A and B are shown apart, each in its own frame.
Chain A
Amino acid sequence: MTKPLVGLLLEGTYPFVQGGVSSWVHQLIRGLDKQYNFALTFIGSTPSDHPKQHYKLPENVLSLDCFYLFAPEADCRTDFGTQHAYHKKLSDPAHWGKPRRHRLRPHRTQRPSASGTRWFIDLIHRLQNPKTPMNQRLLQGFLANNGPIQHPFYPTDMHRYRFSQEHALSSTILWKLLTRDYERFCPTEPFNHFCWHYRGLYQQLFRIAHIAQRARPADMYHSISTGYAGFIGAILSAAGDRPLIITEHGIYTRERRIDLNDAPWLTSPRRTSCVFDRQHESVIRTLWIRFFEQLSHTAYHQASHITSLYAASRRLQINEGAAPEKTHVICNGIAHERFARQNHLVRATSTPRVALIGRVVSIKDVATFIKAISIVRLSHPTVQAEIVGPLDEQPEYVEQCHMLVDLLNLSNHVTFTGSQEVETLMPTLDVLALTSISEAQPLVLLEAMASGVPIVATDVGACREMIEGPDANAPAPCGLIVPIASAQASAQAISHLLANPALREQMGQCGRQRVQTHYAESSMLSAYHALYANARDSASHRARDTTTDTTRPEAEQWRIPFVHWGFPSTFFGIKPR
């Protein structure tokens, strides 16, 4: 019997990035190898940002297609190879790091049709109102808007909705909107700056359409985020009437909001000294935030099941627009037996050893860990700290961390070891520290708990729930929680644990028990197996789209009054001048 094919949509993660989400994806694919095959669609920024494939793809991965949103356009069409050929290729290690890379290029098409123009107007309307998700017909239009393409999901009547990127970006409709919003909201800003942001935003939509047109058909789709990946999943799900499952480790829209808050490319070239004189920046920022909100809302709307890792994350998904009845919590799990086996390892020395395990990137706030160690050194002069994890993702941040080690004279105390085998490392540690400023449900905490290592972690994501237990009746904690960006609090917690071997032992025991009870890998895998089976069988999927009334005449469905072109006066959250 043929195994069902799951189309995994991965944005900026597996198999080109190491880290928690990638490990989780690898674990899921391997764990379900008997029941499912997988077709991977990777969406990244540029090939140079993701040069190396870090994981050997399991046998049940039949294809890997890579798309880059910001790669230079080039003439490189793609064809749909047979799954068998790809399977052979991918199982050969000689082909690692040589996945099929697609270049995205706009195609010249015939003049836009009237239906295509109406499709674009409706699209603009939905981007301005992110609370209203795109309906099935609008999503199907994405497969048609760059000219006919041989796609199994291509609806036969969609050729009528042709509308290309060229037409969109040079259309009178977009120009009118652009100039009106410029005059209304940012008249003091250089026009070029505003214009390129505005066009860039719409350009992204057409790049998404290209990816959706080239994505491999599957029996169901599973996107590991909302955003671009989730939206492409929504298009494919709507066009092929296939179920879509969304799993979010971090909440995508929230993370994009945080990124955009500090994005240097949003900073205006105009300098001002008044903190309240920068509304124009927030206008452009709001445009982008609303764009991502629309992508997420549509993905949530189209999905049949939405999963998160912990209860607070589920609440955030509901706040961001997910229907509560679609949401489920499926915790991460690990094969704790692997770690239990290593517990016989005996410590070679009595030197206190602390480690931070994770990628050396700014979100992990390694700098705070280094500063904490410089404080711990005052009470434990022989302390040895290891920073274990890949150093190639943010080289400039790694350099900052090295600089800090030098400035604090910690060269004899702090070591950057690069990636290491966690199972053998864990039993040699006294304390595991995690100083991240943002996390979901970190696997490294589960690994430390399974190894009986006490934890000091910041109060982010599910860390508190994991350390102190999911409910008030939970037994003793398996570590200590500290506030973010506080080297002093982290240092106090680490010193406290280093000074109390009995407490460390007690916390270690508690961690082992908790991971066995709540975070077993088998539970996680069986939950996803059940979810996939349920999604396939779910008949409700076909009748999901309630916003499209198929009984109405087609022309009426597309009728969007032109008076709605512009933004309402309260758009962007500011009053027009």
Chain B
Amino acid sequence: MTSSAQDPFYVLRHSRSVHRKKAMLLGAKTLPPTQACRLFRLALTDPNDEIRLIGVSQLKRVEHELNTKLYTAKSRFTHASAAQRAAIALTIAQLYFDFLYLHIADPALRSHYLSEANRYCAFALEGNLPEAALLAARIALMADEPKTANQFLSRIGQNTLPLFHVMPYLAETAFAQGEYALIKPSLHLASARSRSLNRVQRFWQ
């Protein structure tokens, strides 16, 4: 278990050393994007303006990377054949979703990103891609529509995607709908393959 002195979030919230915070934030570039972006967002609230500027510049970097990928994928989409379109649409929908998932999108622009993600996901669903149904479910969950998410998850066939990919989202839809009895079996299947879910599973046992 990480000691508080080694926990980047703890350091950013409580350390008095600007030098240590800076070193940590600069090192955070190598962390997985979800964690790194949370740290950078937290840095925006720091009283020191150098720390805030590092947070801003790092978030801009992530945003730029996503924008570039999105722009490239969209230009490929317009010139793609019908057969390729579903796969490219899935990439575009995933990128729009990432803007929301990483909290890069401004709150006022969330609905724009959500509707674009839905639009391209609908293209991808026409190609019968199982990943598209999973993404559609995640988008529906983000839009606070667990019933729709459940419908998409149930469309994923038995042998199309590994169960441990689908189960955590089934558990999440069950929780959102208040069907707590369904959470435990879903998590049981999921946690067998994912250690990060072990603690959640123990809570629901």
Contacts and interface: CB of A to CB of B under 8 A. Distances in A.
Partners in one complex: yes
Interface of A: 254, 257-258, 261-262, 271-279, 281-282, 362, 365, 367, 371, 374-375, 378, 400, 403-404, 406-408, 437-438, 484-488, 491, 573
A374 B23 contact: no
B82 interface: no
A363 to B, nearest CB: 10
Q: Which of A276, A408, A438 has the most CB of B within 10 A?
A: A276
Contacts of B112: 374, 408
A438 B109 contact: no
Interface in B19-67: 19, 22-24, 26-28, 30-31, 44, 50, 52-54, 56-60, 63-64, 67
A121 B8 CA distance: 40
A374 B109 contact: yes
Nearest to B26: A261
A407 B30 contact: no
| Interface residues on chain B, size class | 20 to 34
Does more than half of chain B's interface fall in helix, strand or loop, or is it mixed? helix
B31 A261 contact: no
Interface in B97-133: 106-109, 112
A273 B30 contact: yes
A526 to B, nearest CB: 33
A378 B108 CA distance: 10
A261 B27 contact: no
B19 A573 contact: yes
B70 interface: yes
B67 A262 contact: no
A362 B107 contact: no
Nearest to A258: B53
B56 A487 contact: no
13 contacts: A261-B22, A262-B26, A262-B58, A276-B23, A278-B27, A365-B56, A375-B106, A378-B108, A400-B68, A403-B71, A437-B56, A484-B56, A487-B109
B108 A275 contact: no
B59 A485 contact: yes
B23 A278 contact: yes
A282 B24 CA distance: 10
Contacts of B108: 375, 378, 487-488, 491
Closest 4 pairs (CB-CB, A-B)? A275-B27, A278-B27, A375-B108, A487-B106
A400 B64 contact: yes
Nearest to B59: A485
A374 B68 CA distance: 19
A131 to B, nearest CB: 16
Q: Which of B6, B52, B108 has the most CB of A within 10 A?
A: B108
B92 to A, nearest CB: 10
A65 to B, nearest CB: 34
A438 B26 contact: no
A485 B30 contact: no
A271 B27 CA distance: 10
Contacts of A279: 23
Nearest to A485: B56
B139 to A, nearest CB: 18
Given A271-B30, A282-B26, A573-B19, A488 B106 contact: yes
Given A262-B54, A400-B67, A371 B23 contact: no
A276 to B, nearest CB: 6
Given A262-B57, A362-B60, A403-B71, 14 more contacts: A261-B54, A272-B27, A274-B27, A276-B6, A282-B22, A282-B23, A365-B56, A375-B108, A378-B108, A403-B68, A407-B71, A407-B74, A437-B53, A438-B53
A437 B56 CA distance: 8
A487 B182 CA distance: 41
A488 B106 CA distance: 7
Contacts of A365: 56, 60
Contacts of B31: 273, 275
B81 to A, nearest CB: 23
A273 B56 CA distance: 22
A73 to B, nearest CB: 32
Contacts of B30: 271-273, 275
Given A275-B27, A275-B30, A257 B68 contact: no
A485 B44 contact: yes
B63 to A, nearest CB: 8
Contacts of A371: 106, 109
Contacts of A278: 23, 26-27
Contacts of A404: 67
A404 B106 CA distance: 14
A488 B56 contact: no
Contacts of B67: 400, 403-404, 407
B23 A257 contact: no
B101 to A, nearest CB: 17
Contacts of B24: 275-276
B26 A281 contact: yes
Contacts of A271: 30
A275 B35 CA distance: 11
A484 B52 contact: yes
Contacts of B44: 485
A76 B38 CA distance: 53
Given A262-B54, A262-B57, A275 B8 contact: yes
Nearest to A275: B27
Contacts of B28: 275
A339 B17 CA distance: 47
A18 B75 CA distance: 34
A277 B6 CA distance: 11
Contacts of B63: 367
A212 B22 CA distance: 35
Nearest to B54: A261
A491 B60 CA distance: 18
A275 B29 CA distance: 8
Contacts of B22: 261, 282
A429 to B, nearest CB: 23
Given A273-B30, A406-B71, A375 B52 contact: no
Contacts of B8: 275
Contacts of B107: 488
Contacts of A275: 8, 24, 27-28, 30-31
A485 B67 CA distance: 17
A274 B58 CA distance: 17
A275 B6 CA distance: 9
B113 to A, nearest CB: 10
A387 to B, nearest CB: 17
Contacts of A272: 27, 30
A375 B113 CA distance: 12
Contacts of A362: 60
Contacts of B53: 258, 261, 437-438
A352 B59 CA distance: 31
A438 B62 CA distance: 20
B44 to A, nearest CB: 7
